[in-house]
Homo-oligomer: A and B are copies of this chain.
Amino acid sequence: MTEPNPGPPIEAPDAEAALTALRARGLRISATRRRMAEILYEARQPLTAEQVADRLGGAGRADLPSVYRNLEVLEEVGLVRHFHLGHGPGRYVPAGAGVHEYLVCERCQALLAVDPHELDDVRAQVQERFGFTARFTHFPIAGLCPDCTREVAG
């Protein structure tokens, strides 16, 4: 089980609006929260809570429960979202302008990030056939990436 590959970079959304939303709810913009947002934007790839904690701590690692709590707050406020790659820890990405949806390879863990519009046809087809509104944001499409498809097929 290797690490998923980075996928394309992530653009920065309107962080200021989100921070304002924080204030509106009586929540505070701590240095830690600000740095967490920066870390996620600069990572330009999905990070686990543990990875965020690693990059936060000056010496050692930041407190993991606090990181989870802050990720939750940032998500409620719309600065961050997360999704699940099969088993293993959740992955966090900045929300906003550069939203992607993902396809994850069950064989090599590669992550294929795509523009949501590229999945519109697929969603439409599922909608038409089953009346079901497919969302691939929280639980991505799983399967075999192009490379693994070739290798498995022959």
A3 within 8 A of B: no
> Considering only CB atoms and an 8 Å cut-off, how many residues of chain A contact the other chain?
32
From residue A58, how far is it (CB to closest CB) to chain B in Å? Answer: 33
Could you give 30 example pairs across A and B, Cβ below 8 Å? A84-B87, A86-B138, A103-B126, A103-B130, A103-B132, A103-B134, A106-B135, A112-B130, A114-B130, A118-B129, A118-B130, A121-B125, A121-B129, A122-B122, A122-B125, A126-B141, A131-B145, A131-B149, A132-B141, A132-B143, A132-B149, A133-B144, A133-B149, A134-B142, A134-B143, A135-B142, A135-B143, A136-B142, A138-B142, A139-B142
Q: List chain A positions with a Cβ less than 8 A from chain B.
A: 84, 86-87, 103, 105-106, 112, 114, 118, 121-122, 125-126, 129-136, 138-146, 148-149
Task: Give me 20 other A-B pairs in contact (C-beta within 8 A), A112-B130, A131-B149, A132-B149 excluded.
Answer: A84-B87, A86-B139, A103-B132, A106-B135, A118-B130, A122-B122, A122-B125, A125-B125, A126-B141, A131-B146, A132-B145, A133-B143, A133-B148, A134-B142, A134-B143, A135-B143, A135-B144, A136-B142, A139-B140, A139-B142
